[in-house]
C-alpha cells in the first residue's frame, strides 16, 4: 500500500490544488460556446487540463497552446465497448489533433466476463497509440465488484497506463472513498489514481487527496478553487460562486 501524508489548507498552495483538476466539458448537450467558455475557465484558473469531447480537441488545443494547461479527451466513451481497433484509431486521431492526455474506458463487459487478456490488450493498444502521452483507464466502478476492481488495477498496470480512474460521471454512482482506497492499495506506486463523479467541493477534494488521489474530474472547478483562495486568505468565499450540476 502506498502511504500518503495528510494534506490540508495549511499545507497546500494554490497550484497544488489547481493541478489536481481536469475541468470536465463532456456532457453531450453542451454547445460549442459553452465548451469554449469552459476551456477559458480552465486557462484562467490554471488547472491540469480541460477534458473535452473528441470533436472539440482540435480547436481546444489551439486555445490552450503556449499555456501550462493540457487538453485531455476521452476514448471508448462512455461504455467502453468499442472494438480495440476503433479505440486505437480514435486515440491516434486525437493525438494528431492535439490531445495531451487520453481517458479511455476499459471494456466493462469483457472485464466482468473474466476475459483479462482481452482487457489488457485493449488498454495496451490505446497506450501504444497514445505515443507516450498519459493514459487514464476508466473502470466504471458502479458496475464492478471489488475483485473486478482489483483485477482492473492489475491489468491497467500491466498494460502500461499511467492512471486508474473510478468512473465516467454518467453511471449511477461515481467516486467513493472505499473504491479510491482499494484502487490505491492495488496499484503500483507509479500508477496514479483519478477520482471522477461527485467531487464537487474543496473538502471533498481534500478528502480524496488524503487517500492518495492525484487528479480529479470536476465541473465545480471555480467553486473549489475560489473556496481554496478564500480559505487560504482567511475569508469567506464569494457567495455568487455556485457548484454546477451534471456529470463529474
Predicted confidence (pLDDT) per residue in 87-134, tens digit: 999 999 999 999 999 999 999 999 999 999 999 999 999 999 999 999
Q: What is the pLDDT of residue 235?
A: 76
Half-sphere exposure of 207 (CA within 13 A, CB side): 14
> Alpha helix (H) ranges present in the chain?
14-18, 32-45, 57-64, 84-97, 108-112, 116-129, 146-159, 177-185, 202-209, 221-233
Quick one: DSSP state of residue 137? E
Q: What are the pLDDT digits (tens) for 61-88?
A: 999 999 999 999 999 999 999 999 999 9
Q: What are the pLDDT digits (tens) for 17-37?
A: 999 999 999 999 999 999 999
Contacts of 246 (CB under 8 A, 6+ apart): 27, 169, 219
Cell, residue 232? 487560504
Strand ranges for 159-203 from DSSP E: 163-165, 192-196
Quick one: DSSP state of residue 212? T
Least confident range from 135-149, 206-220, 228-242: namely 228-242
Taking CA 76 as the corner, what is the angle to CA 42 and CA 124, rounded to the nearest 5 degrees?
Answer: 100
Q: What is the pLDDT of residue 174?
A: 87
Overall size of the chain counted in residues? 248
Average pLDDT over every residue of 40-67: 98
- Contact 42/51 with Cβ under 8 angstroms? no
- Indicate the pLDDT class of residue 178, thresholds 50, 70 and 90: very high
> What value does the CA radius of gyration of the chain take, rounded to a whole number of Å?
17
Cell, residue 154? 492489475
pLDDT at 38 over 90: yes
pLDDT at 5 over 90: no
CATH 3.40.50.620 fits 9-233, yes or no: no
Q: What is the pLDDT of residue 1?
A: 44
Report the candidate in 147, 161, 159, 152 with the shortest Cα–Cα distance to residue 190.
161
Catalytically active residues are 103, 165, 194
Q: What is the pLDDT of residue 245?
A: 39
Q: What is the pLDDT of residue 238?
A: 54
Average pLDDT over every residue of 152-170: 97
Backbone angles phi, psi at 238, to 5 degrees: -55, 135
Cell, residue 192? 496514479
pLDDT at 242 over 90: no
Q: What is the pLDDT of residue 3?
A: 52
pLDDT at 226 over 70: yes
Average pLDDT over every residue of 188-217: 97
- Contact 218/21 with Cβ under 8 angstroms? yes
Which residue bears the cell 490544488? 17
Q: What is the pLDDT of residue 248?
A: 39
Amino acid at each position: 500500500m502506498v502511504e500518503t501524508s495528510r494534506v490540508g489548507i495549511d499545507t497546500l498552495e494554490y497550484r497544488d490544488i489547481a493541478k489536481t483538476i481536469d475541468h470536465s466539458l463532456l456532457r453531450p448537450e453542451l454547445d460549442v460556446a459553452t465548451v469554449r467558455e469552459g476551456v477559458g475557465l480552465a486557462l484562467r484558473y490554471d488547472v491540469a487540463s480541460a477534458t473535452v469531447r473528441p470533436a472539440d480537441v482540435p480547436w481546444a488545443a489551439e486555445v490552450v497552446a503556449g499555456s501550462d494547461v493540457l487538453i485531455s479527451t476521452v476514448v471508448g466513451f462512455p461504455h467502453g465497448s468499442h472494438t480495440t481497433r476503433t479505440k486505437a484509431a480514435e486515440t491516434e486521431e486525437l493525438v494528431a489533433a492535439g490531445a495531451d492526455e487520453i481517458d479511455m474506458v476499459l471494456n466493462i463487459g469483457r472485464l466482468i466476463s473474466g476475459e483479462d487478456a482481452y482487457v489488457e490488450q485493449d488498454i495496451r493498444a490505446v497506450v501504444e497509440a497514445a505515443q507516450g502521452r498519459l493514459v487514464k483507464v476508466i473502470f466504471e466502478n458502479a458496475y464492478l465488484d471489488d475483485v473486478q476492481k482489483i483485477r482492473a488495477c492489475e491489468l491497467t498496470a500491466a498494460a502500461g497506463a499511467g492512471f486508474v480512474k473510478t468512473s465516467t460521471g454518467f453511471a449511477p454512482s461515481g467516486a467513493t472513498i472505499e473504491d479510491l482506497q482499494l484502487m490505491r492499495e492495488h496499484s503500483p506506486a507509479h500508477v496514479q489514481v483519478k477520482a471522477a463523479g461527485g467531487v464537487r467541493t474543496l473538502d471533498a477534494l481534500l478528502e480524496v487527496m488524503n487517500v492518495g488521489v492525484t487528479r480529479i474530474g470536476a465541473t465545480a472547478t471555480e467553486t473549489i478553487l475560489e473556496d481554496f483562495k478564500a480559505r487560504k486568505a482567511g475569508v469567506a468565499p464569494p457567495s455568487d460562486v455556485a457548484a454546477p450540476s451534471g456529470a463529474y
